[in-house]
Structure 1
């Protein structure tokens, strides 16, 4: 039927791309219901082609995104992500960047179990789209997802940069309590990098945030840094087992930020996480402090 829609005649001067796209959409659904995902993908791509000819870019992007989902069902994740990224570019071209960012976010979730690196890239792309639209809250949330994965990948320098950008966005929208949590995350990441100076600087810079100085978050980080600098293992242990770090809200605890700390006895390395302290694992970062700010 779609071929008839594309034929021209003396009374029909141009192909009916809209009807052709509709017919391929119906065919795609039939193939999908029959679990013939390769054929469904091809039908969605033909639908997208005719929507493009008809200058219906939003519908073309939707069809391409659906083609990506068929590849997901075929467990061909790289191909699936390629289609979704292509769809997101068309959404932006069509003037619907929010839809583009949400598609990239979905793609990140799909690829996360397969490739953390690609998931980071997708979340950062989505964050960039929202940032360009001055949607800072949404952009910050996506940067938070990227930061969490960067820590898991041990790309700590990049995680620290992403956290600072995320924190700046929350500051711009005056969400100061979340800024406090991001400062905590920054401190842990910098300590994991064995960079006490950067960790200390994060706390000092946060004194300018309304309500931070003297807050529970501030006192905990000051105490943690003091214990770290003086290699006071008991003090570090108390902070890491405090309710603040053990029961952080999901915005922070889901990121699994880790800092590697060394107590006064080198063989008793500690891993301080939002869920407490455990023995250091072989090969962990920062098995010895590289420097002290205050000499004991």
Structure 2
């Protein structure tokens, strides 16, 4: 499996480079937007005769961006768990819309907290949009396009990352060394030896391989039969590659913890302990 593992490492490296490139572009765009908004606000205030320090205008823009960066991490996490095929498009759309007020609320709260700290450091007091009748509604309206853009961008980036290194396997390689995993219009040919673990997720099975998680529409029992003896069941909802197990730690209740090659620990149920120990 040397060739297979090398291919997986190459694909993983390509995904890492693509992820770094997308993150750099994202941060650059945010920086340009911040500068553009700040300069525009400074010009508008000067034209309208509004007296406000340049430092305060930059504080407003910077704190808003920092708050959105925190929310962006949550949006990325949510998109990874909600986007199709995990949920149907209508259900995913409803869930994302339901997340809008939550994301906006977090953004506004963080933004206000950061501004209060910044103003306090200079011995001043911050008043949240004091001249606007309903500042929270005003900010919420501003947050809608930003939130939708972040969701769309996260979905696009995850879609691209999932498709890096998914070229079909050469015809002369034995098919039983690979697992075909369909993800929408793309079928991944996953080296079975590279799979770390499989976890039941409703009508799907999450397949962890090469630092990412693929979703396969199947039951865990079906996957266990298809993969054969290379994997052991440590819990009713989890299969682990035997080659990825480094040790087993049993507690007083009879349950146990499996320590993986990368140092992570996953819980096992005492119901499966004997079977695991016999097969290792």
Q: Is TM more than 0.5 here?
A: no
The structure richer in strand per residue is 2
Query: TM-score scaled by structure 2?
Result: 0.29
Point out which structure has higher relative CO (alpha carbons under 8 A, 6+ apart).
2
Normalising by structure 1, we get a TM-score of 0.28
